[in-house]
Chain A
Amino acid sequence: MRPKPHTQMILFLALCGFTVVQLTPIIWAFMVSIKQPVDAFATPPLLIFEPTFQFHYEVWVERGFVSFLVNSLIIAIATVCISVPIGTMSAYALSRMRGGKANTILFGLLAMRMFPHILLAIPFFVLASFIGLIDTHLAMILALVAINQPFTIWLMRSFFLDVPIELDEAACIDGCNLWQTFTQVALPVVRPGLWVTSLFSLLLAYNEFLFALVLTGPNSKTLPVAIAEYGAEDINYWSLSAAAAIGIMLPIVVFMMLMQRHLARGLAMGAVKG
Chain B
Amino acid sequence: MHAQRGLWLFLVPSGVMLALVLVYPLGYAIYLSFFNYYLGDQPRFVGFANYVSLLQDQRFWSSLRTTVILVSASVTLQFVLGLAVAFGLYKLTFGAKALNVLMFLPHVVTPVVAALFLRWIFMGRWGLIDSILIGFNIFPPDWLGTPGWARLVVVLAESWQFTPFMILVLYAGLNTVDQSQIESARMDGAGNWTLLTQVMLPAIKPLIIFVLAIRIMDAFRFFDTIYVLTAGGPGTATETVTIYTYAIAFRLLEVGRASALGVLTLLISAMAIGLVVLVLHRRDRGVV
Instruction: Determine whether A107 belongs to the interface, using a CB cutoff of 8 Å to chain B.
Output: no
Instruction: Determine whether B223 belongs to the interface, using a CB cutoff of 8 Å to chain A.
Output: yes
Q: How far is the CA of A253 from the CA of B102 in the complex (A)?
A: 10
Instruction: Determine whether A87 belongs to the interface, using a CB cutoff of 8 Å to chain B.
Output: yes
Residue of B nearest to A252 (CB): B108
Instruction: Determine whether A117 belongs to the interface, using a CB cutoff of 8 Å to chain B.
Output: yes
In the complex, what's the smallest C-beta–C-beta distance from A111 to chain B, in angstroms? 8
Instruction: Determine whether A19 belongs to the interface, using a CB cutoff of 8 Å to chain B.
Output: yes
Q: Which residues of B contact A143 (CB under 8 A)?
A: 21
Assess the B266–A116 pair: CB atoms within 8 A.
yes
Assess the B17–A114 pair: CB atoms within 8 A.
no
Assess the A118–B255 pair: CB atoms within 8 A.
no
Assess the A119–B266 pair: CB atoms within 8 A.
yes
Assess the A44–B131 pair: CB atoms within 8 A.
yes
In the complex, what's the smallest C-beta–C-beta distance from B278 to chain A, in angstroms? 16
Instruction: Determine whether B202 belongs to the interface, using a CB cutoff of 8 Å to chain A.
Output: no
Assess the A44–B134 pair: CB atoms within 8 A.
yes
Assess the A118–B22 pair: CB atoms within 8 A.
no
Q: How far is the CA of A207 from the CA of B228 in the complex (A)?
A: 14
Question: Are A252 and B109 also in contact (CB < 8 A) when A118-B242, A153-B14 are?
Answer: yes
Q: Which residues of B contact A271 (CB under 8 A)?
A: 165, 214, 218
Q: Which residues of A contact B152 (CB under 8 A)?
A: none
Q: Produce 1/0 per residue, A69-93, CB < 8 A to B.
A: 0000000000000000111011011
Question: Are A11 and B91 also in contact (CB < 8 A) when A19-B102, A120-B26, A149-B17 are?
Answer: yes
Listed stretches B55-63, B70-78, B92-100, B140-148; interface member: B92-100
Q: How far is the CA of A207 from the CA of B107 in the complex (A)?
A: 11
Count residues of chain B with CB under 8 A from any CB of chain A.
94
Assess the A214–B250 pair: CB atoms within 8 A.
yes
Tally of contacts, chain A with chain B, CB under 8 A: 270
Instruction: Determine whether A260 belongs to the interface, using a CB cutoff of 8 Å to chain B.
Output: yes
Question: Are A121 and B249 also in contact (CB < 8 A) when A87-B14, A127-B28, A210-B223 are?
Answer: yes
In the complex, what's the smallest C-beta–C-beta distance from B252 to chain A, in angstroms? 12
In the complex, what's the smallest C-beta–C-beta distance from B218 to chain A, in angstroms? 6
Q: Footprint of B on A, CB under 8 Å?
A: 1, 3, 8, 11-12, 14-16, 18-19, 22-26, 28-29, 32, 40-45, 85-87, 89-90, 92-94, 96-98, 105, 112, 114-127, 129, 142-143, 145-147, 149, 153, 168-169, 172, 178, 181-182, 203, 206-207, 209-210, 214, 223-225, 227-228, 231-232, 235, 238, 241-242, 245, 248-249, 252-253, 255-256, 260, 263-264, 267-268, 271-274
Ordered nearest first, which 4 A-B pairs have the shortest CB separation?
A: A44-B135, A119-B262, A146-B21, A93-B10
28 contacts between A and B (CB under 8 A): A15-B85, A15-B92, A22-B105, A22-B164, A25-B160, A28-B120, A29-B120, A44-B131, A90-B14, A114-B270, A116-B269, A118-B221, A118-B246, A119-B266, A124-B25, A125-B250, A146-B17, A178-B7, A206-B110, A209-B111, A210-B246, A228-B116, A231-B228, A248-B113, A252-B109, A264-B168, A264-B169, A271-B214
Q: Footprint of A on B, CB under 8 Å?
A: 1, 3-4, 6-8, 10-11, 13-15, 17-18, 20-23, 25-26, 28-29, 32, 39, 85, 88-89, 91-95, 99, 101-114, 116-121, 123, 126, 128, 131-132, 134-136, 160-161, 163-165, 168-169, 172, 186, 210, 214, 217-218, 220-221, 223-224, 227-228, 242, 245-246, 249-250, 255, 258-259, 262-263, 265-266, 269-270, 273
